[in-house]
Chains A and B, each alone.
Chain A
Amino acid sequence: MVKETIKQHFSIYKDIIKEGDLFTKLSVLIMGASNLRRGQIVKGLLFLLSELAFLFYAVTTGFQALKDMRTLGTQTQGWVFDETLGIDVLTQGDNSMLILLWGVLAIFVFGFFLILWKSNLKSALEVQKLSENGKKIPSFKDDVMAHFDSKLNRTMLALPMVGIIAFTVLPLVYMILVAFTNYDHAHQPPGNLFTWVGLANFKTILASGSAISKTFWPVLGWTIVWAVFATGLNYIGGILLALLINRKGVKFKGFWRTIFVLSIAIPSFVSLLIMKTMLQPDGAINVLLKEWGLISKSIPFLTNALAAKITIIVVNLWIGIPYTMLITSGILMNIPADLYEAAKVDGANAKVIFRKITFPYVLFVTTPYLITQFIGNINNFNVIYLLSGGGPSSLDYYQAGKTDLLVTWLYKLTASSKDYSYASTIGILVFILSATFSLLTFRKTSAYNNEEGFQ
């Protein structure tokens, strides 16, 4: 399979050597030569122009940018004695951050050019064959029209791809590379340089006695506990609520549903910030409980580590249950009625019906949703950050509190302590965590294996 794809990739070069005429072979060096020869003037010129533009870029900045990537800068900014002036002057020095950024950009430009160059070769051979067989050579207009029909995928993907590359892929590649450098609070450009350190950050985080490592493992543990509870409880709670509202005897179903949907409809940052103030030691919940005489001392909802963890999971139910309820309502109504009738004839009671019919059915249909939810919860920034801010803080942890998830810790490492290299390393570890989990589960679902089956 892999061998075949590689073969396919290189077959174009073999064909060019074997079948290409002079102009097609010339296209290897001068892009668009073959197109120009057979009368595809606009297309040929576009190829040629992009080649010239690329060469200009490569010579002026591109190659240098790639070369600088190897060291990430050697000249530290500082005071250097200037003999002609006779005083110390501040020299600019290298900026590792910018060098890395330009380097990544250069890699992308080179890669993009390679793709363009290859499509130039394909086009060269194609147009040569067309003219040899005496067929009509498509004009520029024909080419443009084809981009709204058989090649529509290119037209429709062009802009979104540019956006994705500029705002997701490029920054991500940059940050992944940062994980292999020592870009932390002690190495901040332009004052200081940072450089490649290999896997040192992974080693520090995973297996050293340092504070970071002592933070990582407990935070990872809590992240997993949180994701399991948040996903599982929301899911079961949502199904039960949907069943309750869908019961035959319950009237005004729309009304009840709307009440619960309200908690999804209100922007989550609003409800979470409100909950946060309500749950303070002097907040509304404690005041209410005191007014009713249920407690005399405030409950430390968010100030005690264990209480905070429980509080966060419970508050998350407030947001999550209605969401599952909304999604499973429709599915519940689609469960074939004869299944229930058969079960009733056999004398099954409500509990058994739920365990043996309803739950397995819903679970089967919503597995992909459940997986996305689990991964979403591993990365659930808002609930933690807005409710507890990761607190209560702990002296044993490096830049993290007792309820911090890996992602909120990552955020703190970036935003407050500027330990970018550690933050990036944690990002990669979170990725490995979610990727392993989805590989284990998602590939088993029919939504993945049976993609064409639904069309």
Chain B
Amino acid sequence: MTVDNLINWFPFGTEWPVLTFVTAVIICALPVFLFIAVYALVAIYAELKISSFMQDKVGPMGQGVGLHAWKFGILQPVADALKLILKEDIIPDLADKKLFVMAPFVVFVGAFISFAALPFGQNIIIADMNIGIFYILAVGSLSVIGIILAGWSSNNKWSLYGGMRSAAQIISYEIPAGLSIISIVMLTGTLSMQGIIEFQSGTIWGVLPNWIIFNNPFSFIAFFIFFISGVAECNRTPFDIPEAESELVAGAFTEYSGMRYAFFFLSEYAEMFVISAIAVTAFLGGWNSPISGFMNSSGWGVFWFMLKSLSLIFLMIWFRWTLPRLRVDQLMSICWKVFLPFSLVNIFGVGIWSLLVG
């Protein structure tokens, strides 16, 4: 645990315990925040470019005088962020002001504290808790409170609709996601993120990497159930009915502008990363190299982890620009009629499998 290590490492930890604790927490939190900010810029640029390429366009190309988004529009996300920071911060007259101000931070905190348990490398993890994956699933659903707060406090019919839809959607999709994770936990016998990854080292028959997705047919299906439920929890297209532009303007975020909107935006991308990171940890071998023994040191672990996570994020972007938005009833029927029975069968199947094979 990095925070504990830092506290022990500080020379005057016993004299000023509170100060030491706060310093240690900030030292851990600041890099994570910077990472989220930089990653969000990269992801937004990637999303702009990939979406354009998929639609036979060129995307931001930075035309114009002076430092105008530079070559190939690389500075476009920076310009967007600057614009959002400089914009006027509008709070509607009839809004519930305290909740309105609070909501974006609740959403962001929900995504932000999940990073505490993400294993970026063999040793790079802020807190390797023995309940790591349970913790992430628990705090991950904090964002639904923020979105409901945003929808309610805006005092706006679109926002309220968006908030309610989001609540229904996120709570429904937590269940198949959680059940898929349960089948993984049954297989590995641990809730710790590092423990799950260590279970996946080595190979199957010397060919395939020993990742849980290849472990048995049930976990193969569980990966897709978890990942698609994760996309739904991020409120991304094709599951973006909470902020459906064509029906609800911007859903729960309708009344937000400037910095507060930027926080919603940031937390959406952070949540995408968290979902991808959990999927990588639980199903795709975390920081393990795909070829056993090849570039498998602790430094390369970060590379493999980021590569796998970013390819899953690419998959999410690919989903978004391919699939049309689902109707509310279709969304619910997929969750309750397809994912839920399949994940229950998965749990049963994994139990039988580990009894017979494992």
Chain B associates with chain A = no
Q: Which residues of A contact B (CB under 8 A)?
A: none
